[in-house]
Structure 1
Amino acid sequence: MSENNVIISIRGQQAFEGAEGETMELVTEGLLQREPDGYTLSYQESEVTGMKGTLTTFQIEKDCVTLMRVGQFNSQMVFQEGRRHLSMYDTPYGSLAVGINTRKMRSAIGDQGGDIEIDYNIEIDHRVAGMNVFQISVREKTPGDIAQ
């Protein structure tokens, strides 16, 4: 198994019905590890995301990406193009079951990094509650790199 320190750039766009969409961008340091069935990408959340103390991990397999967050609030989301998965999402008010309906997913990750793009809907009670797209770019950390 190889393990690389990487720079992760994340751009997320979120839109809720009846509201103007918002874009979030984050650049952080993380770890990219090759696994027998794909890659694992992980990083610590910060105050910028409002989830300080949370470890975010993406398990990247051929046709499936699983996002796991472990910390104050735990969650797991499974993204598989053309499929709907039920996920549990912890909130300050308790756990919530949400549907993750992945419209499009593209993943091209190798030992030196790569890109992931996921376009999905969040569904609550079988109704679309939010439309999301996130793009993740991963590259090897070089001397002098400073995450913002």
Structure 2
Amino acid sequence: MKKDVLIRVRGLQMMDTEDEQEPIEIVVPGQYYYRNGSHYLRYEEMMDDTAQPTVNYIKLSPQGVEVRKQGQVNVHMVFEQGKKNMTLYSTPFGTLQMGIAATGLEIMEDEDCIQMKVDYALDMNDEHVADCYLTVQAQSKDLGDFSFYEN
């Protein structure tokens, strides 16, 4: 895959109450690297109109997926199949302790595209708050439309 890629991130938090779902979806240009058996993605996203961009790093490896955000929000999330990982989620409004327990993890790759999907349970301050999924697809910019997981 080429260094300059188009990245699509889709996610959904299914809260314990049926009416509260928070879908997200962004498509942004980014960079791709492959080093030491792991795939790396880097992209920037604007959290609001006035702030500096938040830089996102995603590492895909046989051990799992790591997502780091640095900027207006700061977090390092680790998704490993069957394991719960704790992290701190820092925002301008305060810091929360999060627990992330991956219940499903898939990574698919070919020479022009890489796709990842993770299903996980999200805890805040030791209390379950949502069942979530996250999909990330990256492909060389010069290719046509993505072929995506549908969820």
TM-score, normalised via structure 1 length: 0.85
Report if the CA contact (8 A) 1:32-1:113 is conserved: no
Evaluate the alpha carbon distance shift between residue 50 and residue 97 of structure 1 in structure 2; reply closer, same or farther with a 3 A threshold.
Answer: farther
Read off the aligned partner of 2:82 and give its amino acid letter: G
1:10–1:29 CA distance, 2 compared to 1 (3 A) = same
How far apart are 1:52 and its partner, in Å? 5.0
Q: Are the equivalent residues in 1 in contact too, given 2:121–2:130 (CA < 8 A)?
A: yes
The alignment yields a C-alpha RMSD, in angstroms, of 2.5
Distance across 2 between alignment mates of 1:112 and 1:48: 32
- Alignment CA distance shift 1:118-1:144 (3 Å): closer
Alignment of 1:136-147 (within 5 A): 136-142=136-142
* SS of residue paired to 1:119: strand
Map 1:1-148 onto structure 2 (within 5 A). Answer: 4-18=3-17, 19-47=19-47, 53-142=53-142
- Partner SS state of residue 11, structure 2: strand
Paired positions, count? 144
User: 2-side partners of 1:35 and 1:23: how far apart?
Assistant: 31
TM-score (norm 2): 0.83
List gaps (5 residues or longer) in structure 2.
146-151
CA shift digits 1:21-63 (9 cap, x unpaired): 2322211111110011311111001257997511000011112
